[in-house]
Amino acid sequence: MPEFCSIEKADHIMTVTLERPDRLNALHPPANVELGEVFDDFASDDDMWVAIITGRGRGFSAGNDLRYQAEGGERLPMPRGFAGLTSRFDLNKPVIAAVNGVAMGGGFEIALACDLIIASDKATFALPEPKVGLAALAGGLNRLPRQIGSKRALGMILTGRHVPAEEGLNLGFVNEVVPHDDLMSETYRWAGQICECAPLSIRASKDVVYQSLSCASLQESMETSYDSVRAMAKSEDFIEGPRAFAEKRPPDWKGR
């Protein structure tokens, strides 16, 4: 059983809850290694189509556990980065961040590494690393400009200021702001809508979007051959979708 998080699996959705509320879910190397294994399991579990990550208590994640580091805690290699997500580039299944409170530094970088961010109206975001002589090198400096543009991103990065959820929505890195007590039900609503779609179509769509960002031109991105698209085209669901539409019934997705 995991030590630093809890896991629930139901209806093709895996929910991961960070369980270090006494430290605002700040993550130390053992927790990051454990979460890497959790998301390895998600990637390989054919019955899991969508993941949700959230935090216990009043924080989503305060990022790197500097206190653990200052106390001389054990350093471990973290090949998948914070929460097993910030340095993971081969996961085609969608991941949703349900941000329930503070998402600072590495915690914000975890959320940015997810495909959707659903935020409580109590959520707050920041990359405050420059205030303590550091830099947001777990993807924050790379992902935020790609998601909201360099001027808006630098307005956060160069000041380290705290951004409330509603401003995050206006800036463009938050998908929806919901009342705090409705956060998980609304996040499950998003996940449920994804699960209504063909799993391999979702994975191909995510894969093409992210790979296209690395292409030099629109033409190159459209002419590139994608393994995920070939897998979709060879799947049973590729036949089931049009058949269900013609027969005016809900599709029975198999994920294969």
User: Domain holding 35: CATH number?
Assistant: 3.90.226.10
Say how far apart CA 4 and CA 236 lie, in whole Å: 38
Do residue 36 and residue 140 come from a single domain?
yes
Do residue 187 and residue 206 come from a single domain?
no
Residue 21 lies in a domain: yes
Catalytic residue selected from 3, 34, 129, 167: 129
Residue 48 lies in a domain: yes
Secondary structure letter of residue 252 according to DSSP: -
Residue 167 lies in a domain: yes
Catalytic residue selected from 3, 34, 74, 109: 109
pTM of the model: 0.96
Query: Per-residue pLDDT for 75 more than 80?
Result: no
pLDDT average, residue stretch 112-119: 98
Query: Max Cα separation, the chain?
Result: 64
CB 63 within 8 A of CB 27: yes
Do residue 220 and residue 154 come from a single domain?
no
Query: Per-residue pLDDT for 78 more than 90?
Result: no
Do residue 117 and residue 230 come from a single domain?
no
pLDDT band, residue 71 (cuts 50/70/90): confident
CB 169 within 8 A of CB 176: yes
Which of 195, 213, 238 marks a domain boundary?
A: 195
Give per-residue pLDDT as tens, 43-58. Answer: 999 999 999 999 999 9
In this predicted structure, what is the pLDDT of residue 77? 74
Residue 50 lies in a domain: yes
Residue 254 lies in a domain: no
109 counts as catalytic = yes
pLDDT band, residue 13 (cuts 50/70/90): very high
Q: What angle do CA 225, 231, 236 make, to 5 degrees?
A: 145
The DSSP H or E segment spanning 67 is helix 66-70
Say how far apart CA 13 and CA 48 lie, in whole Å: 6
pLDDT band, residue 76 (cuts 50/70/90): confident
Do residue 228 and residue 140 come from a single domain?
no
Query: Per-residue pLDDT for 121 more than 90?
Result: yes
Do residue 125 and residue 242 come from a single domain?
no
Query: Per-residue pLDDT for 74 more than 80?
Result: no
Do residue 81 and residue 184 come from a single domain?
yes
Of 6-10, 63-67, 171-175, 178-182, which range is least confident?
63-67
Q: Tokens 């995991």 sit at which residue? A: 2
CA 43 and chain centroid, separation: 13
- Per DSSP, the residues of 196-228 read TS-HHHHHHHHHHHHHHTTSSSHHHHHHS--HH
If one counts the domains in the chain, the total is: 2
Do residue 25 and residue 64 come from a single domain?
yes
129 counts as catalytic = yes
Question: What's the domain range around 232?
Answer: 199-246
